[in-house]
Structure 1
Amino acid sequence: MNSRCRIDRRQLLLAGATTLAGVAISHNKLHAAANDRMKVAFIGVGGRGGGNLKTITATGAVDVVAVCDIDTRFMDHAAEQFPGAQKFQDFRKLYDAVGNKIDAAVISTTEHTHAFATMPALKLGKHVYCEKPLAYNVDETRRVTDAAADAGVVTQMGTQIHATPNYHRVVELIQSGAIGDVSEAHVWVGRAWGLQSKKDAEKNGDRLFVDARPTDAMSPPPHIDWDLWLGPAPERPYHSVYFPGPNWYRWWDFGNGTMSDLGSHWNDLPFWALQLDAPQTVEAFGPEPHPEIAPASMKAVYQYGPRGNRPAVELTWYQGSEKPQRWLDGEIPQWNSGVLFVGSKGMLLSDYNKHVLLPENEFTNFKAPEPFIPDSPGHHQEWVMACQGQGETASPFSYAGPLTEANHLGNVAFRVGKKITWDPKTMTCVDCPEADPFLRRRPRDGWSLQ
Structure 2
Amino acid sequence: MKTLTQTSRRKFIKSASTAAAAFTIVPRHVLGGTGFTAPSEKLAIASIGVGGQGGHDAANFSKSGKAEITHLCDVDSNRMASAAKLYPKAKRYKDFREMLDKEHRHIDAVCVATPDHNHAIQALAAMQLGKHVFVEKPLVHDVWEARVLTDAARRYKVVTQMGNQGTSSDGARLIREWYEAGAIGDVHTVYVWTDRPVWPAGIPWPREAAKVPANLDWDLWLGTAKHRYYVEGAPVRYSDGYVVNFNWRGWWDFGTGPIGDMGCHLLDIAFKVLGLQHVQEVQASVARLFSDFRVRISAPDSNPPAAHVTMRFPKALHTKGPVTVHWMDGGITPTIPEELGLDTPLSANDSLLVGTKGKILTGVYGSNPRLLPASRQVKVREKYPRVANGHYAQWVEACLAGYGNKEVSSPFEFAGPLTEALLVANLAVRGADMNMEGRGEGRQVRMQWDHEAMRMTNFDIVNQFVKRDYRPGWELNYSL
Pick the TM interval, shorter chain. 0.7 to 0.9
- The question of 1:374 aligning with 2:379 is answered no
Q: Encode CA deviations 1:99-127: one digit per residue, 9 max, x unaligned.
A: 23211111111111111110111111110
Cross-structure match for 1:22: none
Asked if 1:295 corresponds to 2:287, the answer is no
* Cross-structure match for 2:10: none
Which runs of structure 2 are paired with 1:95-134 in the superposition (5 Å)? Answer: 95-134=100-139
* 8 Å Cα contact 2:160-2:395 kept in structure 1: yes
Matched, 1:354 2:377: no
C-alpha distance in 1 between matches for 2:286 and 2:338: 17
| Alignment partners' CA distance in 2, 1:81 and 1:192 | 32
Alignment of 1:143-162 (within 5 A): 143-162=148-167
Cα offset, 1:309, TM superposition = 5.4
Q: 2:323 maps to what in 1?
A: 313
Seen in structure 2, the aligned counterparts of structure 1 residues 325 and 98 have a Cα distance that, compared at 3 Å, is: same
The residue aligned with 2:413 is 398
What TM-score, normalized to structure 2?
A: 0.80
Going from structure 1 to structure 2, the CA distance change for 1:425 and 1:225 (only over 3 Å counts) comes to: same
Can you list the C-alpha shifts for 1:257-308, whole angstroms capped at 9, x where unaligned?
1110000100111111111111111111123586111022111111111124
1:422 aligns with 2:441: no
- Secondary structure of the 1:244 match is helix
Map 1:160-175 onto structure 2 (within 5 A): 160-175=165-180
Of 217, 221, 226, 1:225 maps to 217
TM-score, normalised by the number of residues in structure 1: 0.86
| 241-250 vs 224-233, which moves further | 241-250
What amino acid is the match of 1:448?
E
Q: Does 1:323 align with 2:325?
A: no
Alpha-carbon offset, residue 323 of structure 1: 1.5
Residues 139, 419 of structure 2: 8 Å contact kept: yes
- 1:43-62 deviations in whole A, cap 9, x for unaligned? 11011111111110122222
SS at match of 1:348: strand
- Check 1:330–1:354 CA distance in 2 against 1; reply closer, same or farther (3 A cut): closer
- Contact 1:192/1:319 (<8 A) preserved: yes
Determine the C-alpha separation between the residues in 2 that align with 1:293 and 1:193: 13
What pairs up with 1:273-288 in 2 under 5 angstroms? 273-287=273-287
How many angstroms does 1:245 deviate by? Answer: 2.4
Q: Which residue pairs with 1:412 in the alignment?
A: 427
**Structure 1's 108 and 320: CA in aligned 2 closer, same or farther, altered over 3 A?**
same
1:91–1:255 CA distance, 2 compared to 1 (3 A): same
User: 1:212 deviation in Å?
Assistant: 2.2
- Partners of 1:107 and 1:114 within 8 A in 2: yes
Which of the residues 316, 332, 343 maps onto 2:355?
A: 343
Are the structure 2 counterparts of residues 410 and 72 from structure 1 closer, same or farther at C-alpha, using a change threshold of 3 Å?
Answer: same
Residues 231 and 272 of structure 1: is their aligned pair in 2 closer, same or farther, counting only changes over 3 Å?
same
Q: Distance in 2 between matches of 1:81 and 1:432?
A: 50
When structure 1 is superposed on structure 2, of 46-55 and 168-177 the one drifting more is: 168-177
Deviates more, 1:173-182 or 1:227-236: 173-182
Superposition RMSD in Å: 2.2
> Cα 1:297–1:329, aligned 2, differ >3 Å: closer, same or farther?
farther
Equivalences for 1:264-275 in 2 at 5 Å?
264-275=264-275
Q: Which residue identity is paired with 1:156?
A: Q
- Residue 309 to residue 340, structure 1, CA distance change in 2 (3 Å): closer
Q: What does the per-residue CA deviation read over 1:139-185, in whole Å, with 9 as the maximum and x for residues that have no partner?
A: 11111111111011100000111111112211221232210011111
Aligned residue in 2 for 1:216: 208
Gaps of 5+ in 2: 1-25, 235-241, 289-295, 432-441
Alignment CA distance shift 1:308-1:49 (3 Å): closer
Aligned residues: 407
* Counterpart AA for 2:302: I
| Structure with max Cα Rg | 2
Q: Aligned partners of 2:113 and 2:185: how far apart in 1?
A: 39
Taking the TM superposition and a 5 Å limit, the aligned residue runs for 1:163-242 are: 163-193=168-198, 211-240=203-232, 241=234
Q: Partner of 2:189: helix, strand, or coil?
A: strand
Does the 8 Å contact 2:175/2:369 carry over to 1?
yes
2:467 maps to 440
Separation in 2, partners of 1:348, 1:59: 32
1:77 to partner: Cα distance = 2.6
Moved more, 301-310 or 179-188: 301-310
* Contact kept? 1:195, 1:295, Cα under 8 Å: no
Q: Is the 8 A contact 1:297 1:319 kept in 2?
A: yes
1:307 to 1:446, Cα distance in 2 relative to 1, 3 A: same
Q: Greater CA deviation, 91-100 or 279-288? A: 279-288
Report which stretch shifted further, 162-171 or 230-239: 162-171
Question: Is contact 1:192-1:296 (8 Å) kept?
Answer: yes
